[in-house]
Amino acid sequence: MRILVTTRADLFEERKRQHLERGWRIEDERSIPINGLCSFVAVRDMPASDALGELVEQALNGKRASYGDR
């Protein structure tokens, strides 16, 4: 799983640290601010079985929420 994290320049190092502590790998750092924002790509390798389980859980939770809305 890959996510793009965009943050204010003054919080850049803190946000990277938070992601690293949670087991994400950091790639493609853009530490020079553009319009006051910096970014990086956080990557987490998930086994295929975990990814599938997560997708199933999201689908089930989505169905429950839609039934509750009626």
- The predicted-structure confidence for 56-69, as pLDDT tens digits, reads as follows 777 787 754 444 44
* The pLDDT of residue 34 is above 90: yes
DSSP for 14-56?
A: HHHHHHHHTTPEEEEEEEEEETTEEEEEEE----HHHHHHHHH
Q: What is the number of structural domains in the chain?
A: 1
The length of the chain in residues reads 70
How is residue 52 written in tokens? Answer: 């599938």
The domain of 58 spans 2-68
**Residues 12-25: tens digit of each pLDDT:** 999 999 999 999 99
Across all residues in the chain, what is the average pLDDT? 83
Q: What is the pTM of this model?
A: 0.63
